[in-house]
Amino acid sequence: MPTEHQNKPVEFTPAMREDYTILVPMMLPIHFEMIVQILRESGYRAELLRTTGRRLVDEGLKNVHNDTCYPALLVIGQMIDALKSGQYDVNKTALLITQTGGGCRASNYIYLLRKALRQSGFPQVPVISINFTDLAGGTGFKITPKMLIKIVYAMIYGDMLMWLRNQCKPYELKKGQTDKVVDRWIKIMNRQFSSGKFLRVGHNYREILEDFAAIERHREKKIKVGIVGEIYMKYAPLGNNDLENFLIKEGAQPVVSGVLDFCLYCLKNGIIDYKLYGGTKGGKTIKTLSLRYCQHWQNQMIRAIKKHGVFTAPTPFAELEAAVDGFIGKGAKMGEGWLLTAEMLELIQSGVNNVVCTQPFGCLPNHIIAKGMMRKIKNKYPQANIVAVDYDPSATPINQENRLKLMLSNARLTEEFGAAPAAGKPKPILDKTEPAAAISAERDQRETVTL
Amino acid sequence: MSYKIGLDVGSTTIKVVVLDTQDNLVYKSYERHRSRVREMALEKIQSLKELLTGHHLRIAITGSAGLGMAKESGIDFVQEVYATAGAVRQYVPSTDVVIELGGEDAKIIFLKGALEERMNSTCAGGTGAFIDQMASLLNVDLAELDRLSLAHDRIYPIASRCGVFAKTDIQPLINQGAQPENIAASIFQAVVDQTIAGLAQGREIEGNVLFLGGPLSFLKGLQERFIKTLELDGESANFHPLAPYFVALGAALYSKGLSGYRSYDELEQIFTQVLAAPQEVQGMEPLFADEQEYQDFCDRHAATAVEQRDLSAFSGRAFLGVDAGSTTTKTVLLDEDYHILYSDYVNNLGNPITAVKRQLDEIYSQAGPGLTIAGAAVTGYGEDLIRAAFHLDFGVVETMAHFTAAKHFDPAVDFIIDIGGQDMKCFKIKDDTIDDIVLNEACSSGCGSFIETFAKSLGYPITEFATLGLFAKHPVDLGTRCTVFMNSSVKQAQKNGATVEDISAGLAMSVVKNALYKVIRARSADDIGQNIVVQGGTFLNDSVLRSFEKELGRKVVRPAIAGLMGAFGAAIWAMRNAGSQSTVLTAQQLAAFTHQSKATVCGICTNHCNLTVNTFSDGSRFIAGNRCERPVTGKRADVQLPNMVAYKYKKLMSYTGRPGPRGQIGLPMCLNSYENLPFWHTFFTELGFEVVTSGRSTKQMYLKGQNTIPSDTVCYPAKLVHGHIRTLLEKGVKTIFYPCMSYNFDESISQNCYNCPVVAYYPELIKGNVPMDGVQFIYPYISLNDKKIFEQKIIKYLNEYGFALTKKEVQQASEKAYAAYDAHRADICEEGMRALRFAKDHHKKTVVLAGRPYHIDPEINHGIDKLLSSLGFVVVTEDCVANLANAPQTNVLNQWTYHARMYNAARYVSHAPGTELVQLVSFGCGLDAITTDEVRDILRESDKLYTQLKIDEIDNLGAIKIRLRSLLAAMDEREKEHAN
């Protein structure tokens, strides 16, 4: 029974494929360049939004409930901003968002986006959702098996480029060289997704590794800092104020695991759900199969890096899964769920003791899986140096920077003194200054007490 | 000789220390920088010319505002916590824990065991600044606040998360006449609780504790609260004479490790260059393009003046209006032609009674013999108290008073926004009635007084500070969340070299944006209204007024008496309802007026309200702080109105275990227990367990578990879980069952049946953060949706703990458990129907108090249901009426069971006459960011009022009471209109 309250969503129809531009909001700068190219060569006029700036946040604030999580605010802000920019024919534009579904409020992004569209005068704009649970499809947009395989590979290549970039850029002698290599490979891959050559993985991996290895680097030892978190905040420079580059500038080496793990985690959850709560077996078989294939492809990439021997290789998903045992149940599947805990643990177990955990302010799952697990992790690994950084429209970069700097200082302090430095002898301080210089509450309270 | 200089640039002060070769302290200074960071740094160095010239100098900068300067100057920066740790290591190495409170930062460093350093999270800033703000609220200086606190005899619970919350708690205490000594100590206690809850995050503070930073070295009362709360003895609590300088000392020590020296001249040159360097300025458009634009603006707003008449020459009937606001008291005396005979606007200095008495005194002394006060009305926070004290004729709900006043200036007014010192109120007017009321949530309040406090802290009087903003060239964008956030935004702006002018204008813009986007949640000017009246003291600030018009792109009416509107409206109200003579105290009675107040705790029911008993000279008493009439009248309300919240709660509390062969099992009464207790209780009892629940939630229980809460921004219901688990542990239970539940029962009213992430997985967090030695904590992932699967799984999970349950036993128990749950639900629905019938038969208004199951916990809802009863409402819960309506088609993803019930309830209310919905939202509930808009939209379609109450650990119903009374008034008016 449709009621007056319900606003029927605008479908993306097959006819729209012809002349509609599909706008894709940015999340992973490397991956999304490739994914958008895959969409294009599959017949969609897709365009990646590379806009940045405070404007997007303000647009989000105006169009989304301000207590909604920051990623929703940014993504929707970026899209509305694009529609308002005048660069696109708003009657020939569709929006695409990726969604995970599940019990986290993030599953509501598409609804919030539609609401925002209605409220800002673009009710005609259709929204396409790419997701794992088919929350809201459109008949005109279909991911074929061929496209899906390409997208999975785009993630693997993207993960690899991101992974290697972070191992080179902090050490590069010629500034900008690493990013050049990354850009070149995005271009190469984009050509290969059209030609089909992307499947020559062995060859490609070798060449990529050679190219990165050829970047001139110094051998200075840097503090390694892992980045984990809510998926958007973890990866999107727009959300985390370009955290990877910030850490590099501060003299650290970021360690950022790939996005394929997140996809595998989503697949795995379907299987775990069956194990915990029963249900139909049909979905389970497909998920198990997909999981096996993706893991196999991921392992090919990992083996290639190991065989090449210059760079550290990422951890296979199977090991991530194992890392979490005894810490959090795998039934915890909302948001990044047990994966986030697993990533923190995996980092620490592999010697990366310093971890930034990024999250939108007030992120519900992260109360449990991030902040809620830190004590448990620290009890087992006292050397763990984890900082939780909240992002929201009003949190200033300086506030975040200060916290990050604290984490980095902690890292250096630990390196200097060890985890539990022995107490030295007290060194009395001889105060030779005039007593008049001393402050007292009596003299000028309001002036003195607020530091 | 070589000297080491440590330069600590904090958010408001600058600290400098100089150490000689032997690390002796040869210079130290501590001054406020008033945003003149670069100038001060240079002056500081220059003033040390004599001392420094001819020496090898090493220098390091630290502090929250020092980063920018370090970058510009090329001088090494050391993170402040790192610096502190370095200094402590050198000077007081026996320290186990350092607690440092600064102006806006709170830090804790654990030095023993695993090294941990923590700073307050983005949400819990403001410590020194917070105390400052509180002191100015009480109108005492810090030394006085300190002295007062030491003479306290009780502590009031004050929200400990952030300053704004605490302020909302303290204000009513002041208005109720609580003793300043107790308030002062309670403020310090709030700071202590904040530090422990926000920073320790589950790690025990024990061993030798070193207290650093300004507030902790000057304020004995604060020290005392810390020592008491942490149960430290004299030896383990260390207060260092150099406490305010430790960060600077740390920087000086850090500079030892740096290579190379600088000379005095080089240093002077560096700081001169920093000062001279052009500042990167990014700001917003100026408020006024030119002087002319400003003049036009002034002329336009001058048109709203109200005529004055001389009181001494006046003869005839006059009408008194008093607005006893949170920080100010406003009084207006009108003649029958709406001329003002007398008006006054004063800061009530924490004592509204004295303020009103003085104002009345003045009226009587100025007035000639011909004055007859025919009617007198009071509105505002202090309404009841003032009315009782001075025998005023009427009490007016704030909203009605303001509407009445606004109509006087613009009969077509359709939107009123009032920004006062502490709060913000917005009313939408439709068909001459109040259609919607938005009050600021505790988190965005305090904006008006924030500007004032900020002006003070920068050393400017508020009027001058406001004027500065008018012609700022690049107003800074300071964000819109809460005052604490603005503090750090200002820090950032200062770092970027913003001028005081830019900051002043930026603050004005922030207040406005806060109002528009945070409170009203407006999208465009049309969203708000055509005829807007702005009022409240804050709008007297022209920068704020201009920002508002600018942001909205619309001209608004600001009455010249913007600050007096509540009192003006009350006076008009008095005029319309007056008889021949007011009962207000006469000059004679006033001369004999005295007032005493005493704090006490009500012992009549389990709410244990903190009461303030006011006694007046004529022997009459006024009791404040109560939730019901029992402490006043000594008996329960005459007619017991049906109250489903109370009914449900009582029913759950009646579950008691019976001894069984399998021993005890503990069930915490938290979150989902309020839904599933009948199930689990029956299940375990049938299996032969003695079920022990953690019982009623209390504030004490919350405090018991407070130190194990890892995330201070999680909702209060979740925080309470820690206390419940502690309580079970204290009861000696050896097994606790608290399942993780992704899914609820599928009630077929939504696309899925999820729990919220916090409810679903909180057991995981408990396991990870609450020490439970020797106790089995059973927290399996389980779903109750399929009985068969449940039986298969639960037997496996429980038998892992050695219970040796048989299949048959489990089947029988689960049979009974499912039946018990169904019976429980059926009973509630039935009782709900009875309540609705009662309302119909007795012509009572009904409120559907919609929330989550756990919102029936009186510690969580703070007795709002009882308040509704006292206002004459029949109270039912969302689950009683959810099955009375079809599931609405929602514009959001309807996949959480409890949300689905609320949508259904809203749908039911849409078509139910005499019924409105009040939604309870716990602060920090991310899901409700989605539900609130949707519930509102459903209600709006049927022209229903939407009332959202945000609740937290704050145990104060002041603002909520105004909301609910306004709701009642709006319903009454609609009824009247309907009747016509």
Q: In this predicted structure, what is the pLDDT of residue A450?
A: 29
Asked if A230 and A361 sit in the same domain, the reply is yes
Cβ of residue B496 closer than 8 Å to a chain A Cβ? no
Cβ of residue A9 closer than 8 Å to a chain B Cβ? no
Kindly identify which residue of chain B lies nearest to residue A443, measuring between CA atoms: B143
Task: State the Cα angle at B597 between B591 and B603, rounded to 5°.
Answer: 145
Q: In this predicted structure, what is the pLDDT of residue B524?
A: 62
Above 80 in pLDDT, residue B554? Answer: yes
CATH of the domain at A323: 3.40.50
Domain that holds residue A76: 16-141
Q: In this predicted structure, what is the pLDDT of residue B84?
A: 87
Cβ of residue B495 closer than 8 Å to a chain A Cβ? yes
Residue B33 CA from chain centroid, whole number: 30
Cβ of residue A415 closer than 8 Å to a chain B Cβ? no
Cβ of residue A121 closer than 8 Å to a chain B Cβ? no
Contact criterion met (CB below 8 Å) for B894 and B900: yes
Strands (DSSP E) contained in B830-901 are 845-850, 873-877
Q: For B630-674, what is each residue's pLDDT tens digit? A: 666 555 555 589 999 999 999 999 999 999 999 999 999 999 999
Facing residue for A329 by CB, picked from B29, B781, B926: B781
* Higher pLDDT pick, B814 / B870: B814
Number of folded domains in chain A?
2
- Average pLDDT of chain B, as a whole number: 85
Neighbours of A193 (CB within 10 A): 24
Cβ of residue B973 closer than 8 Å to a chain A Cβ? no
Asked which of A98-112, B61-75, B937-951 is least confident by mean pLDDT, the reply is: A98-112
Cβ of residue A371 closer than 8 Å to a chain B Cβ? yes
Asked which of A45-54, A66-75, B776-785 is least confident by mean pLDDT, the reply is: A66-75
**Would you call B891 and A7 a contact, using CB atoms and an 8 Å cutoff?**
yes
Q: How would you label B121-131 residue by residue, b for 16+ Cβ within 10 Å and e otherwise?
A: bbbbbbbbbbb
Asked if A114 and A25 sit in the same domain, the reply is yes
How far is A223 from A412, CA to CA, in rounded Å? 8
A383 CB neighbours in chain B (<8 A) are 114
Facing residue for B24 by CB, picked from A4, A419, A432: A432
Contact criterion met (CB below 8 Å) for B99 and B112: no
B480 CB neighbours in chain A (<8 A) are 61, 66, 393-394
Look up the CATH number of domain B825-979: 3.40.50
How far is B199 from B712, CA to CA, in rounded Å? 9
* Assigned CATH class of B2-92+249-276: alpha beta
**Would you call A108 and B783 a contact, using CB atoms and an 8 Å cutoff?**
no
Q: How distant, in Å, are the alpha carbons of A116, B383, B759, B827 from that of B903?
A: 20, 36, 19, 21
How far is A107 from B927, CA to CA, in rounded Å? 11
Look up the CATH number of domain B97-239: 3.30.420.40
Asked which of A258-262, A419-423, B682-686 is least confident by mean pLDDT, the reply is: A419-423
Contact criterion met (CB below 8 Å) for A153 and A198: yes
B241 CB neighbours in chain A (<8 A) are 431
A25: left (phi over 0), alpha (psi -120 to 50) or beta: beta
Asked if A381 and A235 sit in the same domain, the reply is yes
**Would you call A65 and B521 a contact, using CB atoms and an 8 Å cutoff?**
yes
SS3 B730: helix
Residues pairing with B734 in the sheet: none
CA distance B542 to chain A (A): 24
> Which residue of A381, A387, A442, A449 is the best one to mutate when testing the B interface, meaning the one whose CB has the most B CBs within 10 A?
A449
How far is B21 from B24, CA to CA, in rounded Å? 7
Above 90 in pLDDT, residue B780? Answer: yes
Asked if A134 and A228 sit in the same domain, the reply is no
CA distance B766 to chain A (A): 8
Q: For A363-415, what is each residue's pLDDT tens digit? A: 888 899 998 999 899 889 988 889 888 888 766 677 788 778 888 887 887 77
Asked if A247 and A388 sit in the same domain, the reply is yes
How far is B945 from B916, CA to CA, in rounded Å? 7
Whether the CA torsion B138, B141, B143, B147 is positive or negative: it is negative
Mean pLDDT to the nearest integer, A19-27: 94
Contact criterion met (CB below 8 Å) for B513 and B419: no
Tokens found for residue B66: 């020092």
Cβ of residue B43 closer than 8 Å to a chain A Cβ? no
CA distance A199 to chain B (A): 39
Q: In this predicted structure, what is the pLDDT of residue A137?
A: 52
Kindly identify which residue of chain A lies nearest to residue B454, measuring between CA atoms: A450
How far is B155 from B227, CA to CA, in rounded Å? 15
Facing residue for A410 by CB, picked from B30, B115, B783: B115
* Higher pLDDT pick, B120 / B774: B774
Kindly give the pairing relationship between strand B328-335 and strand B340-347: antiparallel
CA distance B256 to chain A (A): 15
**Would you call A399 and B890 a contact, using CB atoms and an 8 Å cutoff?**
no
B15 CB neighbours in chain A (<8 A) are 451
Facing residue for A448 by CB, picked from B22, B30, B793: B30
Q: For B409-425, what is each residue's pLDDT tens digit? A: 988 898 998 887 667 77
CA distance A124 to chain B (A): 16
Tokens found for residue B162: 């952030």
Residues in Cβ contact with B582 at an 8 Å cutoff, skipping those fewer than 6 apart: B320, B373, B374, B375, B376, B392, B393, B574
Q: For A176-218, what is each residue's pLDDT tens digit? A: 999 999 999 999 999 999 999 999 999 999 999 999 999 999 9
Q: In this predicted structure, what is the pLDDT of residue B887?
A: 76
CA distance A210 to chain B (A): 37
Tokens found for residue B775: 């106790």
Asked if A346 and A227 sit in the same domain, the reply is yes
Whether pTM > 0.80 for this model: the answer is no
Percent of chain A with pLDDT over 90: 57
How far is A83 from A118, CA to CA, in rounded Å? 12
Asked which of B465-469, B514-518, B791-795 is least confident by mean pLDDT, the reply is: B514-518
Cβ of residue A249 closer than 8 Å to a chain B Cβ? no
Band of residue A438 on the pLDDT scale cut at 50, 70, 90: very low
Residues in Cβ contact with A64 at an 8 Å cutoff, skipping those fewer than 6 apart: A72, A73, A76, A77, A112, A116
* Higher pLDDT pick, A135 / A154: A154
Kindly identify which residue of chain B lies nearest to residue A397, measuring between CA atoms: B492
Q: Do the domain assignments include residue A451?
A: no
Band of residue A362 on the pLDDT scale cut at 50, 70, 90: confident
**Would you call B929 and A105 a contact, using CB atoms and an 8 Å cutoff?**
yes
**Would you call B67 and A365 a contact, using CB atoms and an 8 Å cutoff?**
no
Q: Do the domain assignments include residue A158?
A: no
Report which secondary-structure segment, H or E, holds B435.
strand B433-439
Cβ of residue B488 closer than 8 Å to a chain A Cβ? yes
Cβ of residue A374 closer than 8 Å to a chain B Cβ? yes
Amino acid at B217: S
**Would you call A437 and B488 a contact, using CB atoms and an 8 Å cutoff?**
no
In the stretch 673-712 of chain B, residues with CB closer than 8 A to chain A read 710-711
Band of residue A449 on the pLDDT scale cut at 50, 70, 90: very low
In the stretch 783-822 of chain B, residues with CB closer than 8 A to chain A read 783, 785-786, 789, 793
**Would you call B517 and A66 a contact, using CB atoms and an 8 Å cutoff?**
yes
Above 80 in pLDDT, residue A59? Answer: yes
Q: In this predicted structure, what is the pLDDT of residue B132?
A: 75
- The CATH number corresponding to B416-556 among 3.40.50.2000, 3.40.50.720, 3.40.50.10490, 3.30.420.40 equals 3.30.420.40
Return the domain boundaries, chain B. Answer: 2-92+249-276, 97-239, 316-325+347-409+568-591, 416-556, 595-630, 647-821, 825-979
Contact criterion met (CB below 8 Å) for B862 and B698: no
Facing residue for A364 by CB, picked from B102, B135, B756: B756
Above 60 in pLDDT, residue B810? Answer: yes
